[in-house]
Structure 1
């Protein structure tokens, strides 16, 4: 290592620490604001995103035009605005959540049909948790974990290029007893968890992936790629896939956690067909959830990038 690179590394560590302290300070302040003031911050940040973030705006509009061609433009615009506010809420809530009084925070959650996951766990000892970038998705891998302390809990995700941000991501999960599993090289870690017989890992399934990493499914009447990790784990260990979705009310003061009936995988001599069937079931359920409450989905991902890249060409 040269002297110059060593200095750059030291400066990188220093500014990373500064960013970490700044975010913790911001979280401390946000946690002490009256809720109406906090919501004001959320809406202000969401409005800034809406006005300045043109790339995500066009991606969201492309997705909405593609899957809801009959929907009125004003309705699509309202959905995009709400999506930006939801994004702002996820960011600010994640920054402040560790500083919120636990009893007050926990009281904001209403659990609906929790017996769906409890029955699967009682029968098989472990389960795969299917999640989506929908509503307050971050809480699936954090605050909900306290209800399942006897299981080996994990959250599959992707780290950033910034070490300080990565430390916050991992710290945020670990504060709730959840192991963060990096998507890079994830399968080995997942096998370790489920080989123990008490695995309960959340996997977000609603993003585009390379065709080599998954399979094609029908999604809103179009072909889209879909991760098969949940299906592979379910088949390998003969366990259920249980979707857990958290939506919120208009002012983000209460969260509704819905546990959907488990997706049970068929185990036959044709493993590819078994995995395809279970993966399509996840895509079908995802579509049903989004259709019911489109304003709560994160429309900014290029969901059809692998199969229909042409829809994301920016208007000239």
Structure 2
């Protein structure tokens, strides 16, 4: 698989851009066609559960768009050998990067809060290539997949640590680095229960805990593809600061609730960009009580 993907990447890099993304569109459609029905129903059910829409057919459209966009995401990453060292600059525009610049100038470090929306892999690559001292925190993949993605991250100057490297994260934060954390998926029993779309669900505590520990800004950063401009839009937002009293658990809950509210608002504005295939509420009490219904696919034959 590693050799195949490397050859495929070389082929993609040799093709004209229009052909590259035509292949991406085709791959995206295949992703939807071969998506297991159970996973498709889960995505549609979660969209309805979150009241993004009350129309099952519209929920299906959002779920399909959320899935087919992976075709373009794959092409973006496979193009890394072609777009490295400045050629990526034609692919995106900045909005309010001043928040990142201010944090870098301050030199105390920062937590960059990202979500699985848009091409989050490209987001990390661009931030690192633009000179921000980014430490990307990732989950280790299996075998050749981990080798390939980390090799391509290095092409875009990313330094990656795994989620188990907490000491490294703290050390790098103290040295003024920006720790990139994605916090919108279910973290298992290591999370803390706070509301998300109106229901308590386990939420990753990393941004809140690290922000509180070192009193550094938590800066939301997003990427989304603007089809009219034909470019990715990278946006940095007004920083959050963690609550800091003598009650650490309470502080974490308050901060996480604010961050989840921000994420929820962003997803409501751009629902097609989010990763609905992930079973976000799998550990909540309400899920096991049957509160999240997974309806039949409205377009299934």
TM-score by length of 1: 0.85
Is it true that 1:28 corresponds to 2:10 in the alignment? yes
Q: Which runs of 5+ in 1 are unaligned?
A: 1-18
Structure-2 residue corresponding to 1:156: 137
Partner of 1:192: 171
**Kept in 2: contact 1:228–1:275 (CA 8 A):** yes
Distance 1:313 1:292 in 2: 23
Does residue 201 in structure 1 map to residue 179 in structure 2? yes
Shift of 1:83: 1.1
Q: Tell me which of 247, 259, 271 is aligned to 2:236.
A: 259
1:12-27 mapped onto 2 (5 Å cutoff)? 19-27=1-9
Following superposition, the deviation at residue 100 of structure 1 comes to: 3.1
Matched, 1:78 2:61: yes
More helix by share: 1
Partner Cα separation in structure 1 for residue 160 and residue 228 of structure 2: 29
The farther-off stretch of 256-265 and 71-80 is: 71-80
Q: CA deviation at 1:113?
A: 0.6
Which residue is 1:4 aligned to?
Answer: none
For 1:1-316, list aligned pairs within 5 A.
19-54=1-36, 55-68=38-51, 70-100=53-83, 102-123=85-106, 125-149=108-132, 151=133, 153-162=134-143, 164-183=144-163, 185-195=164-174, 197-210=175-188, 212-250=189-227, 253-307=230-284, 308-309=287-288, 310=290, 311=292
Structure 2: distance between partners of 1:248 and 1:283: 22
What is the Cα deviation at residue 204 of structure 1?
A: 0.7
Please give the root-mean-square deviation of Cα atoms over the aligned residues, in Å. Answer: 2.1
Residues 1:194 and 1:69: Cα distance change in structure 2 (over 3 Å): closer
Q: How far off is 1:124 after superposition?
A: 5.2
User: What count of residue pairs does the alignment treat as equivalent?
Assistant: 292
- What CA deviation, in whole Å up to 9, does each residue of 1:153-193 have, x standing for no partner? 2111111221x22111221222222221112x232221222
Q: Which runs of 5+ in 2 are unaligned?
A: none
Structure 1 residues 124 and 283, CA gap change in structure 2 (3 angstroms): farther
Deviation at 1:254, TM superposition (A): 0.7
Greater mean deviation of Cα atoms: 299-308 or 88-97:
88-97
Change beyond 3 A, Cα 1:251–1:30: farther
Are the structure 2 counterparts of residues 235 and 69 from structure 1 closer, same or farther at C-alpha, using a change threshold of 3 Å?
closer
For 1:23 and 1:251, the matched residues in 2 are separated by: 30
For 1:181 and 1:264, the matched residues in 2 are separated by 24
Separation in 2, partners of 1:138, 1:235 = 26
Quote how far apart the aligned CAs of 1:313 are: 6.0
Shift of 1:51: 1.5
CA distance in 1 between counterparts of 2:52 and 2:182 reads 26
